[in-house]
Each structure stands twice: as structure tokens, then as C-alpha cells.
Structure 1
Amino acid sequence: MVNSFIAIVGLVVAVGGIVLAILRRGKQYREVNEKKQFPAPVLLIIAGCVLGLLSQSFTVIPTGYSGVKTTFGQISESTVQNGINFKIPFAQSIEMVNNKMQDIKYADQIWSETSDRTAIYYSDVTVTYQINNEKSAWIYANVGNYQENLVSQTLVASALKASSKSLKDTDATNRSIIEPAAQESIQQSLDDKYGKDIVFIRKVVIGGADFEESYNQAIADKQNAQLAYEKQQIENQNAIEKAEADAEAKRIAAEGEADANKILADSLSDDIFKQMMLEKWDGQLPKVTDSGSNVFDVTGLLGEEEDGSQGTGNAEAGQ
């Protein structure tokens, strides 16, 4: 930017000197020559040329960039750091290399497969990389069109496929797992291609990851079947628990009834039992019996009661 400004100023000054020289041709020009003095137009032209040379004598490299110096096309091995750097006009040039973090986006789908041999694809992949400023000259000298080819789509696709093939189906679509794995794989691929500490992969972001449609349908069917199975298991368990609870309630009730009957049976004597039978008897004797029938004879009981009654009456008479 500064170089361009100085070059423009020099050009304007030089052109101004030329215009002024044209305007002063003639009588005034001869008078100046006779006095052996340099005319103003010549000074302006010389100043313009000096400014033009000055503009080609240095390069300002901003923060976040480094420079690569070439002399008649020969690339210097040393990287030029940011700041003001001088060069020989028209013999040397300094090219700037971006050392900031940069994003490369790959919109095309990258198809791969998981360790379970399931087809999967990734889309909207963004790779953030950074060039080591100490290696700018090496990259400029050895990588053709490094802005486009340094981190190529082919390399990213290959590394991403290698990452997914090491993961299960459930992990291959988990961004917290696949993205760090892809970052590590891409970094390893770059190290193998260029050497260590040349390019740093700072982050990998995968916008979309999904399986092919047939697999998704199979997964959906499996999930529905699993949900139905779990629902049936819950219903079966509830039925079992209810049956066990009902059985337990009946057992408790039966044990309670048995205990009550035992207590009642233990508390009944023969006399109490006979008395209860008499209280329930309506005074009628069976009208029809067969030879095998056993009919309870209440005569004895009645006799006992009558005897008791008579004994009571006699006792009262004696008094």
C-alpha cells in the first residue's frame, strides 16, 4: 500500500516535470541554458524517478504474514519476517505468505464406511489450517499454487475415510468423536506429505453426517421393533406383578380365614356345639330317609334339656 502511494506520487511528479518542460520550451529554455542552471522541470522529473525507485526498494509485511524474497527468480531459503524489508529495485521481489488461520470448505459429499461396513457420507466439511511462518519460503518453493493445493480436497477426503473406518456406526456420526479423529488423521497425512511442523490443522468441522437411506430405514424399523418389545415386556411384567400381588392377597386372606377357623374350632366344646345345633333346629324331623341315611338323634339332647328343666322344677318345689 505504501509502495503504491509512493510510486503514484513519483509518477505525478515526473509527469508534472515533463509537462512543465514542454511549456517552457523556446526562449526561456535558451535563457536558462545560457546561465548554466538546471530548470525546474528537470528537477521534478528526477524527483519523480527517485520516488519510483524508492517505491520498489522496500516492502511492508503486515502482522500475520511473512515474506519470501526472490532474486531474479531464485527463491531465498530464509523467510522474511513482518515489518519493513528492503530489496534491490527490479532485481528482487518479496511475496507475502498468509500465516493466519485459514478455512477451506468442501461442499461436496465425502462417502466412506464405518468399521461395521456401513456406507456413510459427510458434507459441508470445513478445515482450519495455519502455515508455520518459519516454513513459508519452503512452501512457496516446493508447493505449486499452495493457496489451492496445500490442503487439497483429495487429502481431506482420504483422511476422513480413514477416520470413519476405525469407528462404529454410533461413533461415526458423533461430531465430538469424528471431528477430532479427522483432525488427527488430516494432520498425519500432511506430516507424511510435507514433513512435521509445516502446516498445522487447528480444527475440523463436519456440517452433516448421515447413512444411506436404506440403512436409516433399517435402523428406524429396528428401533420401532425394540420399542414394541420393551413395551410388551413392561406389560408382561406388570401382569406378573399384579398376578403375584393378587395371589399374595388371596394367600394372606386364606391364612387369615384358616387361623380364624382354627381359633373358632379350638374354642368350641361339644356342649356349645350341641347348643348351637339346637338353636338352628326348626323342630321338624326328616320325613323321608333311606336305610343308609344317618339321622342325628336329638332325643337325647331334648331329654337332657327336659331333665334339666324338671330338676329345676323339683328344686323349686322343694323350696
Structure 2
Amino acid sequence: MQNLIKRGALGLGVIAGILIINPFATVPAGYRGVITTFGKPSETVYGEGLHFIWPVAQRMHKVQVAIQKGEGEGDAASRDLQTVHTRIAINYHIRPDAAVSVFRDLGNEPGERIIIPSVQEAVKAVTARFTAEELITHRAQVRNEIVEALRERMARHGLIVDEFSIVNFNFSKTFNEAIEAKTTADQLKMKAERDLQRIEVEAKQKVSRARAEAEALALQRQQVTPELLRLREVENQTRAIEKWDGRLPTTTGGAIPFLNVGNIRPDSAPSQR
């Protein structure tokens, strides 16, 4: 019985000793491990999971390789010497096989050591190639050139650019007012051009209508002959006779319609009694 108690106490002591000295280290998801032996990092990159280390002599350090986000802002000068305040956002990650160099060379702080100064340098270099107006109108090109500059600089340190966005460009108040005035002038110019085009179209339509009417009148004149005029005169007289009720007008001083006086012979006059 006493031997059993001694063995149990010994086992508990061993377990307690293991827990105290802790010869195991865990690397969580999204990280890589770097083991240092008395402060010197090994060249081996440890993956996610449980790993054995020598207590006291060794220590496991975690290097995040998952995608990280950074934001920043700063001032730069455009090619036409306008002050440009730029705000950017970047997503990046550490290349897993470069975890040891990031830990050793960058102190496991890539954001402070590389990301921020690299972004500032790239933004200033690219911004200086464009005028302030071009920074607005060629925003996609500006972004692409900044990304290319960043990738080249960061790749030397085992860092990968996943996404880069220009959140905003801000300029001086004077420049913003000048841009607004130019935009207003361009809009007024476009409106005037549209009005002029409309007026020209309407004028052409009027000319076309007038030409068509003139051609129609000319055609009608060509079709009017003396025979046609005589025919129209006879038709008008025929319609008038059809409407006449046979009574002569009672008023004098006017011509009697439809009576040809020259055709009345004296012998045909009525006899007087």
C-alpha cells in the first residue's frame, strides 16, 4: 500500500514537473513558428501544431502569415507642385518560408519596419509623375504604379501585397475651387454645344420643309394649264346653276348671273300689250 502511494506521488511529481518546465510549444493557425536556442533563431520554419522544445534552452516564437490589413496617410507633391494628401489601405501577408528572416531581420514587426516606409516612398515617387488633375482622371493607373513599386520593395523582405487601394486624394482649397470652376465651365460649354446642335437641326428641318413646299407649289404650277382653268370654270358654273332656284334677284344695280345679254335677239323680246 505504501509502495502504491509512493508511486502515485512520484507520478504526480513527474507530471507537475513536465507542466512546470513545459517542453511543448503550439503554433496556431495562421502562424509559423521560429525556435530560438538561447536567443539564436534556427533556420527551420515550424508549421501549425504541437512541437517539442528543450525547456529553458529553447523558446517558440510565432510569426503571423495570415493576411493583415494596414492603413495610412501622408502628404506628397504632384508634378505641378500641388500638395496632395493621400489616404491608402493595404492588405499583405508574410511569405511562410520567409518567417525566419522576418523574425530575425525585421524583429517580427514588418508593419513598422517595412510596410509604412515602403508605402510612403512609393506614394511620393508615383505622385510626383502626375499632375494633380491627372491623379484624379488616371486614378487606376496611379494605383497600379504604386502597387508595382510596393511589390518590388516588399518582396525583398518576404512580404506579399494582396490588395492596395487609394481611399482618397485631398488637395488644397484653392485647387479644389479651381477644379470645381473648370468642371462648371466644361458643363456650360457642353450645354451650349448641345443647344447649337439642336438649333442647327431645327434650322435644317425648316429649310427642308420650305424646300418641299416650294417644290410642291412649283409642281402644281406646272400642272395648271388653260384647259384645266377652263374646266374648273365650267365646273364652278355648273355647281352654281344646280344650286339656283330660278328666281332673279329683286335688287338692281348688279349683274344678273348666268345671262349672256349679247345672245338675246330683239325679236325674241316679249310683246307688249
TM-score normalised by length of structure 1 = 0.60
Unaligned runs of 5+ in 1: 1-34, 276-304
- The residue type equivalent to 1:103 in the other structure is K
- CA distance in 1 between counterparts of 2:92 and 2:159 reads 7
- Number of residue equivalences: 235
The residue type paired with residue 76 of structure 1 is S
Equivalent residue for 2:179? 219
1:200-259 deviation per Cα after TM superposition (whole angstroms, max 9, x unaligned): 111123322233332222222122112222222232333333333333333333343344
**CA offset digits 1:160-213 (Å, max 9, x no partner):** 233334557355466655444433221112135x3xxx1111112332223333
What is the alpha-carbon distance in structure 2 between the residues aligned to residue 181 and residue 140 of structure 1?
29
Is there any run of 5+ residues in structure 2 with no aligned partner, and where? Answer: 234-259, 269-273
Q: 1:8-23 residue pairs with structure 2 within 5 A?
A: none
Q: Work out whether 1:130 is the aligned partner of 2:97.
A: no
Mapped to 2, the partners of 1:52 and 1:258 lie a distance apart of: 116
Structure 1 residue matching 2:43: 3-state secondary structure: strand
In 2: Cα distance, 1:117 partner to 1:180 partner: 22
Kindly indicate whether the alpha-carbon contact (under 8 Å) linking 1:114 and 1:172 is maintained by their aligned counterparts in 2. Answer: no
- Structure 1's 151 and 104: CA in aligned 2 closer, same or farther, altered over 3 A? farther
Aligned to 2:162: 202
Aligned pair in 2 of structure 1 residues 70, 255: CA closer, same or farther (>3 Å)?
A: closer
CA contact (8 A) 1:129 1:201 kept: yes
Q: Is the 8 A contact 2:25 2:52 kept in 1?
A: yes
Query: Alpha carbons of 1:315 and 1:67: their partners in 2 closer, same or farther (altered >3 Å)?
Result: same
Q: Contact conserved, 2:63 with 2:108, CA < 8 A, in 1?
A: no
Q: Shift of residue 314 of structure 1?
A: 9.7
Query: 1:58 matched to which residue of 2?
Result: 24
Q: Which one-letter code corresponds to 2:180 in the other structure?
A: A
> 1:51-98: CA deviations, max 9, x gaps?
34541x221112221111112222212222332222222112121111
Could you give the per-residue CA deviations for residues 109-150 of structure 1, whole angstroms, max 9, x where no partner exists? 322345566543222x22211112211111211123525434
Q: Tell me, in whole angstroms, the C-alpha distance in 2 between the residues paired with 1:152 and 1:199.
A: 9
- Residue 82 (str. 1) matches residue 48 (str. 2): yes
**Aligned partner of residue 79 in structure 1, secondary structure:** coil
Which residue in the other structure is 1:241 paired with?
201
Higher relative contact order (CA 8 A, sep 6+): 2
Say if 1:87 and 1:93, in contact at 8 Å, map to a contact too: yes
Instruction: Please list the CA deviations of residues 272-317 of structure 1 after superposition, one character each: whole Å capped at 9, or x if unmatched.
Output: 7xx9xxxxxxxxxxxxxxxxxxxxxxxxxxxxx99x74xx84999x
Decide whether the 8 Å contact of 2:45 with 2:99 is kept in 1. Answer: yes
- Give the alignment partner of residue 189 of structure 1, picking from 143, 147, 153: 153
Q: Give, in whole Å, the separation in 1 of the partners of 2:7 and 2:137.
A: 76
Is 1:157 aligned to 2:120, yes or no?
A: yes
TM-score, normalised to structure 2, is 0.69
Q: Say if 1:147 and 1:255 are closer, same or farther in 2 by CA, change over 3 A.
A: closer
Higher Rg: 1
